[in-house]
Structures are given as structure tokens and as C-alpha cells.
Amino acid sequence: MTREEALDSVKANVENKNLVKHMLATEAIMHALAKRLGEDEEEWGLTGLLHDIDVELTEGDMNTHSRLGADLARELGASEAMAHAILCHNEAHGVPLEAKLDKALFCADPLTGLIIAAALVRPDKKLANLGANSVKKKFKEKSFAAGADRGQIARCSEIELELDEFIELGLKAMKEIAADLGL
């Protein structure tokens, strides 16, 4: 599967532009994580890009979300490792995170939401001048963007990354695609 095929499939299955942006942001962070950890950048990036492909098809049903996503990813030619990471990023299935790829996707997913929310409360609503320290401060404000699960983000420790470095890496990765994110 090429990146273009993956993105086309995401766009064919997801109408909500913000959800597509969420997947692009997750792709960017996963790509940067793979680079940092010496893993397969293409595989990790595509896993991030595809991880919520079924979100509209499953209509918020957490019992089918990510199970269908894993199947769709396999049909597109994703590896078993990618499909497994997609499957277990939804904790409702009770499938434990095993590989580094599983753990990376699990903690990268909510970090995108925290960073987007931190950009949107700025006067310019842009990522360019958002500092990592602001995001770190917002991380500690539990009521801010409460949907971005702090405990889940903090599990970056399971891929041997300090929280500060994880936030810095995620922010930098998202800044690089700011135009695609409209931020």
C-alpha cells in the first residue's frame, strides 16, 4: 500500500475533515516516533494515518470500532503488526498492547488532541508560535481538553520516552504539517 492509497481510503471512509486531520496528525507523530526510536517510519506513519479509518462506519460503537479498522487496513495491505496496533488502540476490546508499535499508537493518539486544543486557544489559532512549554502546562490542567486522556499520553514511558520529550517531538511533527492541519 502506498501512502496515497491509504490517504485516499481514509478520505473515502471519513467525511469529517477534523477526523481526517486527526489521522494526519497521528501519522506525523508516529513517523517522528519511528525516526526517534529507530523503527520503520513508513509502517508507523501508515498505522497512524489509518488508525481511525472506521470511526464513521462504526458510528461510535466501541465494540466494533478498530476491529473493522484493523480489517480495512489488512484489506489495504497492512501488515499484521499494523492491524494489531490499530485493533488494540481501542481498549474496549481488552487486547493488550504488546509491540512498541501498539504502545506508540496508543499514546500518540490523544496527544494530537491536546496539541490541537492548545493551538486553538491561542489568539492566532496557529501551531507556529505554540511553544512546547505551553503544551506541557496544558497537560497539567486536567480540565483543559479533558478528552485528551493524560494517563494515556503519559504511557509514552512504555516506549522509553520522557513525557517532555514526547510532547516536544509531537509538537514539532505537527508543526511540519501545519498547513495540512489548517493550523
Q: Write out the residues near Fe ion by the rule CB under 5 A.
A: 52, 109
Measured from the CB atom, is 54 or 109 closer to Fe ion? 109
Q: Considering the complex, what minimum distance in angstroms separates the CB of residue 113 from Fe ion?
A: 8
- As a whole number of angstroms, the distance between CA 143 and CA 42 comes to 35
Q: Hunting for cell 509502517 — which residue is that?
A: 43
Per the structure block, which three cell numbers stand in for 65? 470500532
Amino acid sitting at position 13: N
First to last CA, the chain: 28
Q: Considering the complex, what minimum distance in angstroms separates the CB of residue 109 from Fe ion?
A: 4
Q: Hunting for cell 493551538 — which residue is that?
A: 119
Measured from the CB atom, is 52 or 149 closer to Fe ion? 52
Q: Considering the complex, what minimum distance in angstroms separates the CB of residue 22 from Fe ion?
A: 6
Q: Hunting for cell 513525557 — which residue is that?
A: 163
- As a whole number of angstroms, the distance between CA 129 and CA 13 comes to 33
Measured from the CB atom, is 105 or 167 closer to Fe ion? 105
Amino acid sitting at position 22: H
Measured from the CB atom, is 14 or 171 closer to Fe ion? 14
Q: Considering the complex, what minimum distance in angstroms separates the CB of residue 129 from Fe ion?
A: 26
